[in-house]
């Protein structure tokens, strides 16, 4: 039996495009004499559809899509993900389902049992979990058809009281097919492979795994679909960050004796693995955000600092230099070096640079406010006026010319509130809002791996917002090397203050940083969507109250 894995980039709610892609792939598989072609979880509607699932019209369009796909299934079978209606009155109205289609008819519908309800996942909000399981017989093979999380309950500390495969295996399937929507984080490919290999070893049968690829707003899907033999060895792996299509002979996979290449203990990623992954994921995220929304051009405030330099470089890689515009907006506090650095960067990238000094605008605002401020000292208020002036200019250009403003705030700044609402925190998409400052520096080094794109001076000069004379980030924040390590323990590892202090950090510093994180939750609720590259990003996957006392 020939099995094809079709790793495609879907668009949420774009039924015409999604169905067209699926049909074209079915016909491609027919030409190759494939017996069974496999598509991803919720492929017909895209993942995650979220509250679109509450619209009857949306569900009808899903059903129509399945019927349309079925018309292509003559001489070939298809597995494809879509919502299905729960026929019982009790429970949620929908299942997250895998449809097995052959002879132009839906032959079997298998429903997802383990519905993730953590981090970015919210499936139990919409779906009823399956409570019965069965296999599919096709071409002399018995197939265990599962959906994403159904294979993830194999750790020593299981999240769910039941593992569907423990029940399905009693029917003695020869192979597992798992359709998934597994989002990217830079350390997730190894975790994913480990889980799939554990299943193959535990149940002693191969796994055919099919993942999404492409970006859906802040969620990035990296592909990496794979086939694993019954020893837990990876037979083949599809491309990352792009669509792919591979054909396998089931008998060859059953006979494959490849052994696992590594164990199941946590893997420490080297920088030469981590940063290429982050770079490719962010480029894909920008590209899909623009293309799926029908936009072409990006605008970015270029300060001569490392954050805007990295975002500009990523945007050029994603959209092309002709579609990226930089705006330099110096004030009286901007150094000549920063302006020069921004101009050199623009030249290196080959992009258009606009020069709009903000001194006169800033002076006019301060003069207008003088009757109210009187002789009060220059403070954060005047600093924020500069940032908001720049935000106003960028949004005006965005509105007038149809540009999308890319935000340049990094994760360290967002964590501690080192940014101005409606100023440098505005934009349509936050590109590096899940990248700590120390990681931004490493990402810049990766961008410069072949040639100097980001000027060396940008990499080496002390970070500064340049909103007052001789300002440095270190005036307000601890050294980023220390700050980021503490933030990582609190945000990603969810450690409390005593646990972090026990790691050797100064108590006063830990308490100060954690307080800064928590009192600035209100700012993060007003940021643009943040491209998710870590296991715990700000946004839908981290839900904390604004009005709370804990550690604040």
pLDDT at 427: 97
pLDDT of residue 41 exceeding 70:
yes
Would you tell me the crossing angle of helices 359-373 and 380-401 to the nearest 10 degrees?
A: 130
Question: What DSSP character marks residue 130?
Answer: P
pTM above 0.85, yes or no: yes
Catalytic residue among 2, 41, 466, 523: 41
Q: pLDDT band for 265, please (50, 70, 90 cuts).
A: low
> Which residue among 408, 442, 472 closes a domain?
472
Instruction: Give the DSSP letter string of 156-197.
Output: SS-SSS--HHHHHGGG--SEEEEE---B--TTHHHHHHHHHH
pLDDT(155) > 90: no
94-102 and 105-111 strand pairing: antiparallel
472, 501, 516 - which closes a domain: 472
Does residue 348 sit in the same domain as residue 227? no
Confirm whether 529 is domain-assigned.
no
Q: What is the pLDDT of residue 471?
A: 80
Determine whether 112 is an active site residue: yes
Task: Provide the terminal-to-terminal Cα distance of the chain, rounded to the nearest Å.
Answer: 61
218 and 288 co-located in one domain: no
pLDDT digit string, tens, across residues 139-152:
999 999 999 999 99
Q: Of these residues, 2, 21, 45, 112, which one is catalytic? A: 112
Residue 512: inside a domain, yes or no?
no
**248 and 280 together in one domain:** no
Q: Is it the case that residue 363 has pLDDT exceeding 80? A: yes
Residue 382's nearest CA partner among 304, 474, 301, 469 is: 469
Q: Each residue of 479-498: pLDDT tens digit?
A: 999 999 999 999 999 999 99
Residue 267: burial class (beta carbons within 10 Å; 0-12, 13-18, 19+): middle
Residue 394 lies in a domain: yes
3-state secondary structure 199-266: HHHHHCCCEEEECCEEEECCEEEEECCEEECCCCCEEEECCECCCEEEEEEHHHHHHCCCCCCCCCCC
Give yes or no: residues 236 and 277 share one domain: no
Q: Per the domain annotation, does 540 fall within a domain?
A: no
Q: Looking at residues 465-479, what average pLDDT do you find?
A: 82
Residues 232-251 as b or e (16 or more Cβ within 10 Å = b)? bbbbebbebbeebbbebebe
Do residues 301 and 353 share a domain? yes
The token pair that represents 526 in the structure block:
């007003």
Catalytic residue chosen out of the listed positions 62, 148, 197, 426: 148
Q: What is the pLDDT of residue 182?
A: 98
Assigned domain for 552 exists: no
What CATH number has the domain bearing residue 441?
Answer: 3.40.50.620
* Domain assignment present for 106: yes
The token duo for 338 is 């920063």
**Total structural domains in the chain?**
2
Backbone angles phi, psi at 411, to 5 degrees: -65, -35
Shared-domain flag, residues 49 and 129: yes
Residue 454 belongs to domain spanning = 272-472
Q: Greater confidence, 551 or 385?
A: 385
176 and 290: one domain? no
Statement to judge: residues 240 and 306 lie in one domain: no
Whether residues 383 and 417 fall in one domain: yes
Cβ(212)–Cβ(180) below 8 Å: yes
User: Binning pLDDT at 50, 70 and 90, where does residue 384 land?
Assistant: very high
Residue 364 lies in a domain: yes
Peptide bond before residue 48 is cis, with ω within 30 degrees of 0: yes
- Rounded distance between C-alpha atoms, residue 183 and residue 224, angstroms: 11
pLDDT tops 80 at residue 528: yes
DSSP H/E element including 298? strand 298-301
Percentage, residues of the chain above pLDDT 90: 92
- Mean pLDDT of the residues in the chain: 96
CB contact set of 400 (below 8 Å; sequence gap of 6+)? none
Domain boundary among 442, 472, 502: 472
| CA 229/CA 236 separation, integer angstroms | 10
Cα gap 459→455, rounded to integer Å? 7
Q: Say if CB 15 and CB 44 are below 8 A apart.
A: yes
Q: Residue 542 gets which letter from DSSP?
A: B
Q: How far apart are CA 441 and CA 362, in angstroms?
A: 31
Q: Residue 125 sits in a domain of what CATH number? A: 3.60.110.10
- Same domain flag for 311 and 231: no
State how far the Cα of 4 lies from the Cα of 495, in Å rounded to an integer.
Answer: 44
Residues 193 and 289 in one domain: no
Buried b (16+ CB within 10 A) or exposed e, 442-452: ebbebbbeeee
In a domain, 264, yes or no: no
Together in a domain, 197 and 287: no
């Amino acid at each position: 039996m020939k099995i094809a894995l079709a790793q495609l980039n879907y668009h949420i709610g774009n039924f015409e495009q999604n169905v067209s892609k699926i049909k074209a792939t079915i016909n491609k598989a027919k030409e190759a004499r494939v017996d069974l072609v496999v598509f991803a979880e919720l492929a017909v509607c895209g993942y995650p559809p979220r509250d679109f699932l509450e619209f009857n019209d949306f569900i009808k369009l899903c059903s129509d899509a399945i019927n349309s796909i079925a018309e292509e299934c003559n001489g070939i079978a298809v597995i494809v993900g879509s919502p299905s209606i729960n026929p019982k009155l009790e429970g949620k109205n929908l299942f997250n389902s895998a449809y097995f289609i052959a002879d132009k008819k839906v032959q079997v519908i298998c429903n997802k049992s383990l519905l993730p309800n953590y981090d970015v996942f919210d499936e139990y909000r919409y779906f009823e979990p399956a409570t019965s399981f069965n296999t599919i017989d096709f071409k002399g093979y018995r197939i265990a058809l599962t959906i994403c999380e159904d294979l993830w309950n194999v750790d020593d500390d299981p999240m769910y009281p039941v593992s569907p495969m423990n029940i399905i295996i009693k029917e003695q399937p020869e192979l597992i097919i798992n359709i998934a929507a597994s989002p990217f984080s830079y350390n997730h490919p190894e975790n994913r492979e480990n889980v799939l290999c554990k299943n193959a070893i535990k149940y002693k049968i191969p796994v055919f795994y099919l993942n999404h690829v492409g970006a859906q707003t802040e969620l990035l899907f990296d592909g990496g679909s794979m086939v694993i033999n019954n020893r837990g060895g990876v037979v083949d792996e599809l491309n990352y960050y792009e669509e792919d299509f591979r054909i396998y002979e089931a008998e060859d996979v059953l006979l494959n004796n490849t052994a696992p290449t590594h164990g199941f203990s946590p893997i420490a990623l080297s920088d030469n693995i981590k940063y290429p992954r982050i770079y490719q994921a962010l480029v894909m995220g920008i590209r899909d955000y623009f293309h799926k929304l029908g936009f072409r051009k990006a605008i970015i405030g270029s300060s001569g600092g490392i954050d805007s330099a990295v975002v500009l470089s990523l945007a050029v890689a994603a959209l092309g230099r002709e579609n990226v515009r930089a705006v330099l907006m110096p004030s009286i506090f901007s150094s000549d070096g920063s302006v020069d650095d921004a101009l050199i960067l623009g030249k290196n990238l080959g992009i258009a640079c606009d020069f709009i000094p903000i001194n006169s605008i800033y002076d006019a605002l301060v003069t207008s406010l003088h009757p109210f401020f009187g002789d009060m000292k220059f403070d954060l208020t005047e600093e924020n006026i500069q940032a908001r002036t720049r935000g106003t200019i960028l949004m005006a250009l965005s509105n007038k010319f149809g540009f999308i403003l890319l935000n340049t705030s990094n994760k360290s700044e967002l964590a501690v509130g080192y940014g101005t609402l409606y100023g440098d925190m505005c934009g349509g998409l936050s590109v590096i809002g899940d990248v700590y400052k120390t990681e931004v520096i490493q990402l810049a080094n990766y961008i410069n791996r072949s040639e100097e794109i980001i000027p060396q001076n940008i990499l080496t000069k002390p970070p500064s917002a340049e909103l007052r004379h001789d300002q440095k980030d270190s005036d307000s924040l601890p050294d980023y090397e220390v700050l980021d390590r503490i933030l990582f323990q609190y945000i990603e590892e969810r450690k409390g203050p005593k646990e972090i202090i026990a790691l050797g950090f100064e108590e006063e510093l830990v308490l100060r940083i954690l307080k800064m994180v928590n009192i600035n939750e209100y700012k993060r609720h007003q940021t643009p969507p943040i491209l998710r590259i870590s296991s715990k990003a700000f946004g839908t996957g981290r839900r904390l109250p604004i009005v709370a006392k804990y550690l604040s």
